[in-house]
């Protein structure tokens, strides 16, 4: 199995890359989806978050109020570290469980927004980074996600720099054109790099 780590700056186009890889045949483990799963009502994750940050981060129905939690932790490195210390181990454990269920001859893609920040690049055979200019990302966050510009800048500042991500990457896809161009670039990467790498690993394992 070829293990691919997918990451990139917020609003760089990583979701489109992930969907395209799935269409090509990859098995996807989405860390963002798992981060939501591990703090659903009734989970030990949500209980730990409430213990750390208080009931003010709960919505009226008992679920996690994500905007309220974001207001507490973003811009506060110490508080964010506390949250990450709760969420990341739970996400990694669930991701490992899903990875173990993937076909042994397949290509497993783990979509991890904070792959570089959490030092996980070395866990993968291939690291794929998606980047876009910061002004483009800010515009997308404000227009498409309804974020306040200041909050959007804080989110970007909380992540690794493009240079740090590039240092960890085997390939950097620059999303500066149309969505169709990005999809085409992903498909080329699949055919010319990922499939041959996986086949080579399979042959070596036999």
Kindly give the interhelix angle for 44-53 and 77-100, rounded to the nearest 10 degrees. Answer: 180
Residue with the two structure tokens 């996807």: 28
Q: What distance in Å separates the CA atoms of residue 177 and residue 45, rounded to the nearest whole number? A: 39
d(CA 193, CA 94): 28
Number of Cβ within a 10 Å radius of residue 27: 18
pTM: 0.83
CA atoms within 13 A on the CB side of 65: 16
In 3D space, the residue among 29, 198, 189, 23 whose CA is nearest the CA of residue 109 turns out to be: 29
Q: Distance between CA 124 and CA 118 in Å, rounded?
A: 13
Q: At CA 190, angle to CA 184 and CA 193, rounded to 5?
A: 120
Span 104-157, pLDDT tens digits? 899 999 999 889 998 999 999 999 999 999 999 999 999 888 888 988 898 899
State the pLDDT at residue 206.
Answer: 52
- Predicted pLDDT at 68: 92
Report the pLDDT value the prediction gives residue 162, as an integer from 0 to 100. 94
Written as tens digits, the pLDDT of the chain (206 aa) is 999 999 999 999 999 999 999 999 999 999 889 999 999 999 999 999 999 999 999 999 999 999 999 888 877 889 989 999 999 899 989 989 998 888 989 999 999 988 999 899 999 999 999 999 999 999 999 988 888 898 889 889 989 999 999 999 999 999 999 999 999 999 999 999 999 999 998 888 65
Cα 80 to Cα 92: distance, rounded to the nearest angstrom:
17
């Amino acid at each position: 199995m070829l293990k691919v780590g997918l990451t990139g700056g917020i609003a760089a186009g990583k979701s489109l890359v992930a969907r395209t890889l799935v269409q090509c045949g990859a098995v996807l483990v989405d860390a963002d989806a798992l981060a939501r799963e591990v703090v659903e009502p009734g989970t030990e994750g949500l209980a730990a978050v409430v213990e750390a940050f208080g009931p003010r981060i709960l919505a009226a129905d008992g679920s996690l109020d994500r905007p309220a939690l974001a207001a507490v932790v973003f811009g506060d490195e110490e508080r964010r570290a506390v949250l990450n210390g709760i969420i990341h181990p739970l996400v990694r454990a669930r991701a490992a469980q899903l990875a173990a269920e993937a076909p042994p001859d397949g290509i497993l893609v783990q979509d991890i927004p904070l792959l570089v920040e959490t030092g996980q690049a070395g866990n993968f055979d291939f690291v794929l980074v998606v980047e876009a200019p910061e002004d483009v990302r800010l515009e997308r966050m404000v227009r498409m996600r309804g974020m306040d510009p200041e909050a959007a800048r804080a989110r970007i500042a909380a992540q690794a720099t493009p240079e740090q991500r590039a240092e960890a990457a085997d390939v950097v896809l620059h999303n500066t054109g149309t969505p169709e161009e990005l999809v085409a670039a992903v498909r080329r990467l699949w055919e010319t790099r990922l499939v041959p790498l996986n086949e080579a690993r399979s042959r070596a394992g036999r």
